[in-house]
Each structure stands twice: as C-alpha cells, then as structure tokens.
Amino acid sequence: MAGRVAGKAALVSGAATGIGQSIAMCLAAEGASVAVADIDAGRGADVVTAIREAGGKALFLSLDVTEEASWEAAIAATESEFGRLDILVNNAGIAIVESVDKMSFDDWRAVMAVNIDGVFLGTKHAVPAMRRAGGGSIVNISSILGLTGEEKLSAYCASKGAVRLFTKAVALECGRDGSGIRVNSIHPGYIHTAMTEETCRRDYGDIATGFAELGKLHPIGRVGEPEEIAAGVLYLASDESKFVTGSELAIDGGYTAA
C-alpha cells in the first residue's frame, strides 16, 4: 500500500477509541502496519476490523501502559508480527477532576501512572526496538493542559507538563546518539471524544451546550476533531518531519496563542 508512512510499523496506545482510534486508522490508511494497543479488547478489536475492512494491516494488543511487563510483551509482539517498530504513539491518558485539597493520593498516582509512567515505559522499551529498525519516531500526546494550568485538573496538568519535558530530554538523548530516533509532543485543545463528553456533562449539564461553551475557549471558535490530531501525528511519524525533534506541536485552534 502506498502512503506517507508506507512500510512502517506503528504501535498506538489507547487506540480503542477517541483520538487513539483516529491515529491508528490514519496511520493504517497511509500504509503503516498498526498495533492497536489498549486495555479495552472489545473496542480495540472493532478498530482492527475497521482498518482491515479498509484494506489496511492491523492487530490488537492487550496493553496496560502502567505495567512494564505489558509493554515488553506488546513491543515484542509488534516486532514479531510486523518485523520492526518505527513509530510509537503514546496516546493513552486519563483525567481525574478534583480540587487539590480533596484529591486522594490514590487518584493522583492513578493519573501519573497512566499519563507519565506509561509514556516513560513505552519510550524505554521502544527505543531499543527502534534502534534495531535503524531509527524511528515517538509521538507523545500531551495537551494544552501541559502548557497552561486549569483548575481541578492539577494532577492532569502536572502529568501532561511532565510529558512535554520528558519528550525534550529524550529527544536530546536520541538526537545525539546517532540512533535516528525523533521524539516530539502534540498538545491538543479540547477534542470531540468521550473524555470531553464527560467534561461537558459535568461542567455544562449536557453535551451540546458543553461543546458549544468549550468551543468558545478556542479562538477558532470550536472544539477539535480527533482526525485533526491524527493529521499532526501522521506528519511527525512520517519522514516529512525528519529534521523535527524535541518540538511541541499545539493543535488547539489557537487556545495557547494568547
């Protein structure tokens, strides 16, 4: 299959739904073989079926990003099935909304475990595989809330800010060691997914009002679509961005421009 990432093998975490699903489908449509990795096997299998029906190549991998052994198995399975790993998209993420004085330590740790421990573990185990492949691209999905703060989201903001600087530190290591591995972060604004629907219900009473109100926070006047994040991932995953590493790409309708 021809395409902008033809011949490459990718693993996308949290790919069973939302932004991750869109990323997996986009990379597959552009010629990559894609490991759809998630804790949700049912929805993950549906994504694999959709990719195959569209003529792409995919497999489902059961992955809990907080477990090191789970990452080791997922990366080994990707290499064994596709022969290589060229692209890792660390997309899985969760948010817990609570004021700092009421947040339990368990909830704080749960957010950190998925959002930053998961990115560390995925990167740690992808780098040797990408060295074996002769290079690669790691794309970490941070957030506008890795660049600016938001009330009742202190754990989420702290974890996403950590993703931003973790990305830059590893980009320096991988740039200077001659491995040919590039590492970049993407910072989405509010995007039309289940995660944001939850925010809409909680903060605005219903989904339609919520999306309309959240849209007003973005100078472009609306929330984003998962495909608009996938388009940025595709660029960073492809050789078109071969001089790009350690960068932070805001895809946020201008949210962080002010």
**Cα→Cα distances 123→48, 65, 206, Å:** 23, 11, 38
Tell me which DSSP letter residue 205 carries: S
* Active centre residues (catalytic): 156
**Cα→Cα distances 56→24, 47, 252, Å:** 10, 11, 29
Q: Which is nearer to ligand NAD, 131 or 164 (CB)?
A: 164
Q: Minimum distance from CB of 245 to ligand NAD (Å)? A: 20
Cβ neighbour number for residue 6 with a 10 Å cutoff: 12
Beta-carbon contacts of 65 under 8 Å, excluding residues fewer than 6 positions away, are 13, 14, 71, 90, 92, 114, 117, 118, 119, 121, 122
Torsion region of 237: left, alpha or beta (phi above 0 gives left; psi -120 to 50 gives alpha): alpha
Q: Which is nearer to ligand NAD, 1 or 103 (CB)?
A: 103
By CB under 6 A, name the binding residues for ligand NAD.
13-14, 16-20, 38-40, 63-66, 91-94, 114, 141, 143, 188, 190-191, 193-196
Q: Minimum distance from CB of 177 to ligand NAD (Å)? A: 27
Which residue is associated with the tokens 């421009």? 257
Q: Minimum distance from CB of 184 to ligand NAD (Å)? A: 15
Q: Minimum distance from CB of 170 to ligand NAD (Å)? A: 17
Q: Which is nearer to ligand NAD, 39 or 48 (CB)?
A: 39
Q: Which is nearer to ligand NAD, 193 or 241 (CB)?
A: 193
